[in-house]
Amino acid sequence: MTSTQSPPDAAPVGPPPLAPPARRRGRPGRVRVRDRGMSRAFRWLATGAGALILVVLAAVAVFLVVKAWPAITEPTDQLVAEVPWLHGASSLLSFVGPLIFGTVLAAALALLIATPIALGIALFISHYAPRRLAAGLGYVVDLLAAIPSVVYGLWGGLVLAPFVQPVWSWLGETLGWIPFFSGDVSPTARVLLTVGLVLAVMILPIITAVSREVFLQTPRLHEEAALALGATRWEMIRTAVLPFARSGIISAAMLGLGRALGETMAVLMILSPGFLYSFKLLVAGQQQTIAANIAAQFAEASPMSVSALIATGLALFVITLFVNMTARWIVSRRKDFSGAN
């Protein structure tokens, strides 16, 4: 039967039609599907967007270097003459030095205050809070991250600083022999310790969120084994949860550190700035951070001052990039080993 029209109700008779010749006879194994037309265009579009991310990150570095170059290459005496806030520093580096010092000190202070509290909150949500409440409580902590930084600055300057001033005075009187608390306590409390406190509040959510995730990943069997051996809840956490989460905690803290290093408004609105290598946390006019200095000076800056400010911004970029990359590297490395099963 070779006719093309066969009655539809007729039973198929005769030999089945020949299968079309196999086109990919020469290629055994996996058939590679090549996309054409719109599919190919779409694939290139998506890949281009992915590559654009890398381009943007590179562009950030390149444009900062381009605009900072005049200040970096300018002879120091001319630079000091042109940039009013260099305070007669002998070079750009000797000016950036105290700023880096202030930035790192403020961020370290914030980290020192925030990490134990954040770990406590994360443990509370993952292991202590009633199960039904846990998700809601996590959301409440995330609300802290939803408050804009400028509102924290406003609150820190107008509410927190007057409130903590008596506490700082007391600290200065009783613990003045510790270098950190020595010197004349500022009557307005616009000092680095207040800044550290506000920054700590601002980085709490990120440290909490990351370490909470890690705590929740602890293998259930480890926890149950510890409890079965008679451990109390705290001993279970110390022997099963914390060792498992150690690298996660470190990277959470480093992410928080990255946030604190780059935070501008809270510092700008609270701290009374100074450009010294000083550990005095309760004295006004001692330290300043890179980010706050840029925001404070940028509006009325000459082109050369702008260039110098961008050079300090470049330093900040490099520092935060290093901190964040280390943190992410620890996280990604951990992924490979986290299979405790």
Partner 1 sequence: MTTADLSSTSSEFRALITQVDKRRHRKDRTMRVLIWGAFVLAMIPLVSVSLTVVVHGMQKLDLDFLTHSMRGVFGGADAGGIYHAIVGTLLITLFATLISVPIGLLTAIYLVEYGRGSLARAVTFFVDVMTGIPSIVAGLFAYALFAVFFGPAVRMGVVGSVALSVLMIPVVVRSSEEMLRLVPNELREAALALGVPKWLVVIKVVLRTAVAGIGTGVTIAVARVMGETAPLLIAVGTIDSINTNLFSGRMMTLPVFIYQQYQQGLVPCTPGQQNCIPTINYDRAWAAALTLIILVMLLNLIGRLITRFFAPKNLG
Contacts (CB under 8 A) with partner 1, residues 295-334: 295, 298-299, 303, 306, 309-310, 313, 316-317, 320-321, 323-325, 327-328, 332
Q: Which CA distances in Å does 133 have to 39, 102, 214?
A: 46, 40, 19
- Closest CB 243 distance from partner 1, rounded Å: 16
Retrieve residue 183's tokens.
């010197």
For the chain, where are the alpha helices, taking DSSP H only? 37-73, 76-82, 92-123, 131-146, 149-155, 161-174, 192-216, 220-228, 233-236, 242-262, 265-270, 290-298, 303-337
* CA nearest to 289, candidates 266, 306, 323: 266
Which residues in the 33-52 window bind partner 1 by CB under 8 A?
Answer: 35, 37-39, 41-43, 45-52
Residues numbered 93 to 152 that lie near partner 1 (CB under 8 A) are 116-121, 123-125, 128-129, 137, 140-141, 143-144, 146-152
User: Smallest gap, in angstroms, from Cβ of residue 88 to partner 1?
Assistant: 25
* One of 86, 98, 105, 153 touching partner 1 (CB under 8 A): 153
- CA of residue 10 relative to chain centroid, distance: 73
Q: How far apart are CA 112 and CA 110, in angstroms?
A: 5
State the binding string over 52-81 for partner 1 (x if CB under 8 A, else -): xxx-xx-xx--xx-xx--------------
Site string for partner 1, 172-211 (x = CB under 8 A): -----------------------------x--x---x---
Please state, in angstroms and rounded to a whole number, the distance separating the CA atoms of residues 127 and 46. Answer: 41
Identify residue 254 by its one-letter amino acid code.
M
Count of residues that bind partner 1 according to CB under 8 A:
93
Cβ proximity to partner 1: between 46 and 175 the closer is 46
Site for partner 1 in 240-269 (CB under 8 A): 255, 258-259, 261-265, 268-269
Q: How far is the CB of 292 from partner 1 (least distance, A)?
A: 9
Query: Binders of partner 1 among 207-236, rule CB under 8 A?
Result: 208, 232-235
In angstroms, give the least distance from the CB of 146 to partner 1.
Answer: 6
Angle subtended by helix axes 290-298 and 92-123, to nearest 10: 120
58 and 292 in contact (C-beta within 8 Å)?
no
HSE at residue 221, side-chain half, CA atoms within 13 A, is 3
Considering only residues 93, 112, 135, 158, which one is a binding residue for partner 1 as defined by CB under 8 A?
158
Tokens standing for residue 29:
């194994």
**Residue 94 vs 232, nearer CB to partner 1:** 232
